[in-house]
Chain A
Amino acid sequence: MASSIENNNEKLTLKSSDGEEFLVEKHVALQSTLLQNMLDSDCSSADVIPLPKIDARTLALVLGYCKKHADASSSKQGELNSFDSEFLKDMDMGALFNLVLAANFMEIKGLLDIAAQKIADTIKDKPHQEVREIFHVENDYTPEEEAAVREENRWAFEGFP
């Protein structure tokens, strides 16, 4: 098995947290440093690589990104940039968070970068109360403390409730 992965047409099977299996070409899988390291260190003898933290919907998106970037490799940066922005365009925050977690786990730097940037662009103009909910942050401030921090940064709240 280990020797057969030398073949470029070799395919891997990835299994999502909800049990769905994805057949992936090796050169597409190599977009992920995690999978690359597994292949390099001969861990590939298993027929199926389980990805217990990534659901099927997210994994399908991730593999779509990897396929585009693997196939286009280095040729058309402009085309890839427009693919990237279209790819994330109407994605809701929940899907974006799943995507960023998957990219982080699978170590896909480019995807992690664009997903984190998309999250930043989306929250940039939101009120802090909404950001708190988006990130599930527990508010440890007393109302008085929060008011004091707000007062210190009064200028940043122009136009915010």
Chain B
Amino acid sequence: MSLSVAEKSYLYDSLSAFPAIRPDGRKPYQFRPIEISTDFLPNSNGSSRIIASDGSECIVSVKSKVIDHTIDNDDLIKVEVDIAGQRDDSAVVESINSLLSKVLKPNADTLDTSKLQLTKKYSFKLYVDVLVLSSYSNPISLISFAIYSALSTTTLPKLVSGFDDLEVEELPTFHDYDLVNLELKSPLVFLLALVGDNLLIDPASNEYEVANNGLIVTWCNGKVTGPIRTISLNNFYSKGFDASLLGKGIKLVEEHANDVLQALES
């Protein structure tokens, strides 16, 4: 749905006013309602489906595989995004893929993958597959929420063989029934639109059209972490922004991320 020049101009003015007036009446830090369901794919170790009020929808599956980390020492979490209607090598898909791999990069502070180690030789590798069924704006934030929900409900087979297998090799064997909660908290990604001097969380597609710039902020375990990026949301209004807005943006996320987390957990 495209807006006319006059509409855009009106929208820009109201969004950059202080306080900003969003067309759907939200506060700058307010999210649109989302609907999340988890564990609906029994074949996967964890799954979630998230639907935004504009009809954007994304499905995440987490599957595990036992690997020999002495041979295969890639990251233990591998994420792949598939956006309906987009080729796998399209720019959107590739940029989201690369951003997500950075977000899910194992890191002792934010994403502690030591929980995935089974024995001295073997680990679980998690495959996080994201299917974006439909989206009307950049789905990165939605995806990160879906991944968070999927990972936090992921259960993995329970190891019953020994831990030390370096000298005398044992193949890991697992309990035939029990699954253990992984309890891995993945980072959340927030997308803010910069309009004038205002920062708007979770911009709707019409807000995209007039944003001067976009800011991607990653948040994990109570604090903002990397990657933090800017992203151009349209071709017409894009321009630079005041460095102080960056700090403001981070602060906004720090203030409200916990609410989002609580909403996701409930």
Does A pair with B?
no
Task: Spell out A's residues near B (CB within 8 Å).
Answer: none
